[in-house]
Amino acid sequence: MIEHVSRRRFLGVAAAGAASLALSACTSVPRRDTIGSGSAISYAPPPPEPDYSPAYYQQAYASVLDEGYQIPAVPFERINPRLLRRRVPDPTGEAPGTVVVDVGNHYLYVVEAGGRAMRYGVGLGRAGFEWSGRGEIDWKQTWPRWFPPDEMIDRQPELEPYRAEYNPSTRSWDGGMQAGLGNPLGARALYIYQDGKDTLYRLHGSPEWWSIGLSVSSGCVRLINQDVIDLYDRVPAKSPILVTSGLATV
């Protein structure tokens, strides 16, 4: 008989040694049959810079139909301009293709060739990002389901409808919150692994554009949905990631 494995036990094994805060609002379990592998990294010089005018950002953050979901436009005028997507001189010194999360400044960089990097503003959990160091973007998923951990559901009973159960016959999870505009993981999720183990931290989209630049929830690294779609297309699976703080701002 196949032993029933509780979700609590499974997550405990998957994140051995991780801080308790890792069981956060963005916890989800990737379904291997629906995860994209990405494309090869391109180290070609970036195209000419846009003017980063209001017209540029109006287009970048316009409403977009994505895989059947109509993502609302983002009122970028109400966001601190430093947090809007922009290509900048690379302050990280990392190799092209590396993702760098600077928690001290609420930035995420994708390092490019030629000393440049694409920068995005991000939101973080209230207590900051407790996992740091080097890892790998091991999986990617479009419009992921959300699986709140049992500990969160116990604290917030209203989440009970989204409690998940592991199905050993299919080796997948049943339950959780369906993908959609109200899903806390947004349009995309990129899963951070270290030494082959899931850290339970994700880079993911969020419908809460007003939380970018803040540390206001128990979630992971949140981006505007339009930004996480752009990021997803730039970062192949297996890309290296560094989580740090205190980089010089540019």
Q: What angle do CA 179, 176, 74 make, to 5 degrees?
A: 30
66 assigned to some structural domain: yes
**2 occurs within a structural domain:** no
> 77-88 burial, b if ≥16 CB within 10 A, otherwise e?
eebeeebbbbbe
Q: For the chain, list residues with pLDDT below 50.
A: 1-25, 30-39
In a domain, 114, yes or no: yes
pLDDT for 34? 44
CB atoms within 10 A of CB 40: 7
Q: Please report whether residue 250 resides in a domain.
A: no
Count CB atoms within 10 A of the CB of residue 113: 15
Q: What is the pLDDT of residue 164?
A: 86
H-helix or E-strand spanning residue 174 = strand 172-174
Domain that holds residue 118: 7-244
Cα distance between residue 205 and residue 198, in whole Å: 19
Assess if residue 111 is contained within a domain.
yes
**Domain total for the chain?**
1
Q: What's the predicted TM-score (pTM) here?
A: 0.80
Structure-block tokens of residue 95: 């190799």
CATH number at residue 173: 2.40.440.10
Distance CA 239, CA 112 (A): 13
pLDDT digits (tens, 9 = 90+) for 39-80: 455 555 656 788 899 999 999 999 999 999 999 999 999 999
Query: Considering only CA atoms, which of 28, 36, 37, 38 is closest in space to residue 172?
Result: 28
Q: Tell me what pLDDT residue 128 has.
A: 56
Cα 61 to Cα 226: distance, rounded to the nearest angstrom: 6
